[in-house]
Structure 1
Amino acid sequence: MPLTLHFYLLGYISPASPIYCTWWTAFEYTSFVSSAFLLAAISVQRHMLIFNGPFLKKPWMRTLLHDLPLILCLIYPVLFYLFAIILYPCDGTQWDYTNNGCGFADCYFAFDKVLGTFDMLVNSATPVIIDITANVILIVRVARQKRRLQQSVAWRQQRRMILQLFCLSGLFFVAWMPGVIIMLVQMLYDPMFLLEIQMDYLFDLIDVEYVFLPWVSLAFFPELNKWMKKVFSCRLAINQVGTSRQQQLDSKPVRVVNHSAMN
């Protein structure tokens, strides 16, 4: 996001160098894929927490089914894009310094159709599809359990959790799936397919998740809301006390002492 804002501030890529573009796209892809895999893993793990909670009470099961998948979700994208982008042999002449993200013209997209297709299908599309599917199935399972057990209190708690996951999943789906579909068509069939729309709109759509994610967090995490209100109310009270003291000092009359009369 900071690099994107820097581009829009200048209107061009600066510094216009292959190294800058390589690290920019590597960081962008690694951040997204890590987030997408984490969200997909958490969505699947929610099923175990709600319906198979006792399994995770055993330390080895918790490590195997909870901790290890989350660690892999962080390590795998770093290693993949280290080899696919940073260490991939490339002369750097393919970058577009007039578009956001240097046109996201990484060499493995342009010259390695197998690796590029694998990246789009496995790293981009698959976690989003798993995430959406897991959340839809979770909603159905929770609704069936509510109807069977009539647990209104538990349903209210689970409903908030489902809304959290569904909103996060929706952000990733809206931000990335249109671009993923178009890039797959470009790699497999027509390199010029919707290229202008992709450059002008879809690459910018990626930043939607970064803009709206804080608002989603505020809407569905009441503890965070309370903490922020407490912090801002304390700062406001301190500012008001400081202002009132300054006003009192300014309103006090200044006593002028005539030294000549005293002498």
Structure 2
Amino acid sequence: MNNTTVAIVTPFPFTTSFQANRIKFGVLLVLQILSIPCFLYVFTQFCIQRHLRQSLNHHIIFLLLTTSFIFVTISLPLSQAYLYNSYVYPTSNIYCHFWNWIHYSLNITNLFLMGFVGFEQNWFIFYPGLFENLIGKILFHYCPILCCLAYPTTFYFILIFLYPCRQWYNFTQLLCRWPCYYRTIPFFSIFVYIRVLIRLRSLKLQVLRWRQNRQMILQLWAISSLYLEYISYVRSGFASLNNLAYGD
């Protein structure tokens, strides 16, 4: 009886190997251990020094530290568990749902907060009168912060837990590959693109109006193309992973 050997061809064999994942795990673990005392020290200073809590320009800094601390203590260990084992455990959709939700929610929340802090610092410097009364503080400080916190968590909760699509998680990949809604983005964008073209031609809009809308259509097409290109690249990677070479 002939012995059969199986070789799995990967586009990046070292970076996705078991040894490479263990190295990544070790590096992240060291950085994680070093970062937690720093977080705790800063939180302690916020608790001790009252003026830090009362100053409006420190609120977003505190929230950025808080979301980063949650990421380091909750989301990062999930990634570390995968890197240590090179597979996802437990192998359940609920686990992958939660992992994707907290990962994307915390990352996008941090991006929103970082984006807003630039605007707010500009307001503090050039328009300090906006924050002199309670209404101004609510409109220009607390409401934007609440949106930065609530929108990403709610948005990804709906897309990951409630969006009606069939999940195709891969328990051998980081973050279980991706949630199912990723596959609907380019197709929905193409549908909108085609519908707009048909609608504009049927209405026989003016040339100027058509040119203005054409710019938006081209932007949508460019974004859709990026998603399609990304998915095609990933699929080619999966194809190479599943390419088995048999020998005698």
* TM bucket normalised to smaller: 0.3 to 0.5
TM-score (norm 1): 0.45
Higher normalized helix content (fraction of residues): 1
Who wins on radius of gyration, i.e. which is larger?
A: 1
TM-score (norm 2): 0.47
